């Protein structure tokens, strides 16, 4: 039993790492979308040092001449060279310096390219959050530009981040967008790359037939282009697909072909993945020694590429293999007894698992029930509070409405009283005018009657300076203070007489009533009305009274 569990853990470890390497190949392969330096793995060390000095000199010259665009290009080449040597810290340093320069010159195209490269480095070192952050920034900028090829490369890298996070549907959606762009510009290399990546995602989604369709499309294009690197990569992925479908003979055939191509072109990354796939294949067909041998080759090559220490994993796999050989010998001698014991253990384990699941379901159900009960209680309280608030609001609105109606009624009553009082004053003035006119006639007939002329003069003064009229005007202003303030704010040039006339007109007094009230002629009132219409800029067809009432 111990050996089986150990073996399963080992297989699981191999399986979970397989597809990460598959997509890692895509990151390393996308050099056609980056600045082409050279293969840092195969180039002589003297050539690398020499090229580094050349690029650094380019950076220094561009900095001296303040040629920011050239400096950015040189920093991108420097970062790409460091990245090919797996010196990611130095690569990021170069890229971030380029990013500062692109911000200073506000060049969107340069900035988008730098953001993409930074995201690609973080993607290689599996810092997925940072990778997504910078790739999304590049994606936003590139959508505003016209370079569809560059946009497709960024979307493809974003797809890799979502794939590595296990968000396969999102990754697939981004890859299909990339494929659409590559087809629009007829970029055969990009189309083949998309087919390969889509096949890998479908494989992880366990849709093996769909995966194989896209992988075969990619293989066909790569062979037509005589792209040996991509051909070997796709053959590796097809081999992995065959392993998952238990087509072990087919897997062995394509993996052998991929290995032959990778060795010819010295593609160490492809050889590393090929050895891993072979290890898994031989593990599946019970050839454990060959599986171990290939896994050791894989670890050795991985160490040389990425400086990763896999010695503990190799020892664990080897120990697992030795233990399994010994236990197989014991199982041959005690096969029947072992089978019965295993069956009993499995039955007990199943019962324990079933009981654990049942307990877990009941526990979760109880938690959900209690949580829902609390939510319902809280919602009930919230509803009650809401009802109370609504009632209070309705009561407040009703009180405000009642208060408004009361004030309106009070205003109407006051205005009614003022109107009645104004009519009274008007009637009194009208009577006084008639009496005055009669006295004037008598005074003209008896020119020597000084007392009569004095009485006429007193009546004229009384009509002009009537204390009742003054009190009335003050009360009118108090009652209609809001109207007068609004009138003054909109028409600041109005005189006091204009304002008083406007108030009388708003109260619907006629010109005759106003003339009686103010003890002036109707013609004078009509002239005042005419001047008021001019101040309000009213058309001859507009009603002055209606205008004032609507103000």
Alpha carbon distance 466, 473 (integer Å):
11
Q: Half-sphere exposure of 255 toward its Cβ, with a 13 Å CA cutoff? A: 25
The whole-angstrom separation of Cα 96 and Cα 80 is 13
> How do residues 459-500 score in pLDDT, each as one tens digit?
776 665 566 666 677 777 777 888 888 888 999 988 888 888
Question: Is 412's pLDDT higher than 70?
Answer: no
% of the chain residues with pLDDT over 90: 29
Per the listing, tokens 């009230």 go with 517
pLDDT value, residue 413: 66
- Residue count of the chain, please give it: 551
Instruction: Give whichever of 31-45, 250-264, 385-399, 493-507 has the largest mean pLDDT.
Output: 250-264
Cβ proximity of 204 and 19 under 8 Å: yes
Report residue 17's pLDDT band, with 50, 70 and 90 as the boundaries.
Answer: very low
Residue with tokens 């991509």: 230
- Its pTM stands at 0.48
Structure-token match 């406007």, residue found? 502
Output the pLDDT for position 243: 94
pLDDT > 80? residue 546:
yes
The DSSP call for residue 383 is H
DSSP one-letter string for 157-210 = HHHHHHHHTT-HHHHHHHHHHHHHHHHHTT-HHHHHHHHHHHHHHHHHTT-HHH
Q: Given the structure tokens 């294009």, which residue do they identify?
A: 221
| Residue corresponding to tokens 């992995």 | 240
Closest CA to 293 of 284, 283, 285, 302: 283
User: Rounded distance, CA 86 to CA 304, Å?
Assistant: 11
Q: By the 8 A CB rule, do 104 and 119 touch?
A: no
- Alpha-carbon span 20 to 238, nearest angstrom: 15
Tell me: the pLDDT tens digits for 67-101? Answer: 888 988 898 988 888 887 778 888 889 999 999 88
CA 282 to chain centre: 48
Backbone dihedral angles phi then psi of residue 367, each to the nearest 5 degrees: -65, -45
Report, as an integer, the average pLDDT of 292-305: 84
pLDDT computed for residue 550 by the predictor: 86
> Any idea what DSSP says for residue 238?
H
Instruction: Identify the CA nearest to 253 among candidates 263, 241, 264.
Output: 241
What CA–CA distances, in Å, run from 77 to 24, 115, 207, 238, 410?
21, 14, 40, 34, 87
pLDDT tens for each residue of 337-368: 878 788 888 888 888 898 889 888 999 989 99
The reported pLDDT for the residue numbered 141 is 92
Instruction: Classify each residue of 343-356 as buried b or exposed e, where b means 16 or more C-beta atoms within 10 Å of its C-beta.
Output: eeeeeeeeeeeeee
Handedness of CA 2, 6, 12, 15 (dihedral sign): negative
Structural tokens at position 127: 């810092």
Cβ within 8 Å of residue 155, ≥6 positions away = 139, 174, 175, 177, 178, 181
Among candidates 129, 114, 105, 44, which has minimal Cα distance to 80? 114
- The CA-based angle 295-298-304, given to 5 degrees, is 145
Among 80, 131, 71, residue whose Cα is nearest residue 107: 71
What is the C-alpha to C-alpha distance for residues 284 and 291, in angstroms, rounded to an integer?
A: 9
Residue 427 has pLDDT above 70, yes or no: no
């Amino acid at each position: 039993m111990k050996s089986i569990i150990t073996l399963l853990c080992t297989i699981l470890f191999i399986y979970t790492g397989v597809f990460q390497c598959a997509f890692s190949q895509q990151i390393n392969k996308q050099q056609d979308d980056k600045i082409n330096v050279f293969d840092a793995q195969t180039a002589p060390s003297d050539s690398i040092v020499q090229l580094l000095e050349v690029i650094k000199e380019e950076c220094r010259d561009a900095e001296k001449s303040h040629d920011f665009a050239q400096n950015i290009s040189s920093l991108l080449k420097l970062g790409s060279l460091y990245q090919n040597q797996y010196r990611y810290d130095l690569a990021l340093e170069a890229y971030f310096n380029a990013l500062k320069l692109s911000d200073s010159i506000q060049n969107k195209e340069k900035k988008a390219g730098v953001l993409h490269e930074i995201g690609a480095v973080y993607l290689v070192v599996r810092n997925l959050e940072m990778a997504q952050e910078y790739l999304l920034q590049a994606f936003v900028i590139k959508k505003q530009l016209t370079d569809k090829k560059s946009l497709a490369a960024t979307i493809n890298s974003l797809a890799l981040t979502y794939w590595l996070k296990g968000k396969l549907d999102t990754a697939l959606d981004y890859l299909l967008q990339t494929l659409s762009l590559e087809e629009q510009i007829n970029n055969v290399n990009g189309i083949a790359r998309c087919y390969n990546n889509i096949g890998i995602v479908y494989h992880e989604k366990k849709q093996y037939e769909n995966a194989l369709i896209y992988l075969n499309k990619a293989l066909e294009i790569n062979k037509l282009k005589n792209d040996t690197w991509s051909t070997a990569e796709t053959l590796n992925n097809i081999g992995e697909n065959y392993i998952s479908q238990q087509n072990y003979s087919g897997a062995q055939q394509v993996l052998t072909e991929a290995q032959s191509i990778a060795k010819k072109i010295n593609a160490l990354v492809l050889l590393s993945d090929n050895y891993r796939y072979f290890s898994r294949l031989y593990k599946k067909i019970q050839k454990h020694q060959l599986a171990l041998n290939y896994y050791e080759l894989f670890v050795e090559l991985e160490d040389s590429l990425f400086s990763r220490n896999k010695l503990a994993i190799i020892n664990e796999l080897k120990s697992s293999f030795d233990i399994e050989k010994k236990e197989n010998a014991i199982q041959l001698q005690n096969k029947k007894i072992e089978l019965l014991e295993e069956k009993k253990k499995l039955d007990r384990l199943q019962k324990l698992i079933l009981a654990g699941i049942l307990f877990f379901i009941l526990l979760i159900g109880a938690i959900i029930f209690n949580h829902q009960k609390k939510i319902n209680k809280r919602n009930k309280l919230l509803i009650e509070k809401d009802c109370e608030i609504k009632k209070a609001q309705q009561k407040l609105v009703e009180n405000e409405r009642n208060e408004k109606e009361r004030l309106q009624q009070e205003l109407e009553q006051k205005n009614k009283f003022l109107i009645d009082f104004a009519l009274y004053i008007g009637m009194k003035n009208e009577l006084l005018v008639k009496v005055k006119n009669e006295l004037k006639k008598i005074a003209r007939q008896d020119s020597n009657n000084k007392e009569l002329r004095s009485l006429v003069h007193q009546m004229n003064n009384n009509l002009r300076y009537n204390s009742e009229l003054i009190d009335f005007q003050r009360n009118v202003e108090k009652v209609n203070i809001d109207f007068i303030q609004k009138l003054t704010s909109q028409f600041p040039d109005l005189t006091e007489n204009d304002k008083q006339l406007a108030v009388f007109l708003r109260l619907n007094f006629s010109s005759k009533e106003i003339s009686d009230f103010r003890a002036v002629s109707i013609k004078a009132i009509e002239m005042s009305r005419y001047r008021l219409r001019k101040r309000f800029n009213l058309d001859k067809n507009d009603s002055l009274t209606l205008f004032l009432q609507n103000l």
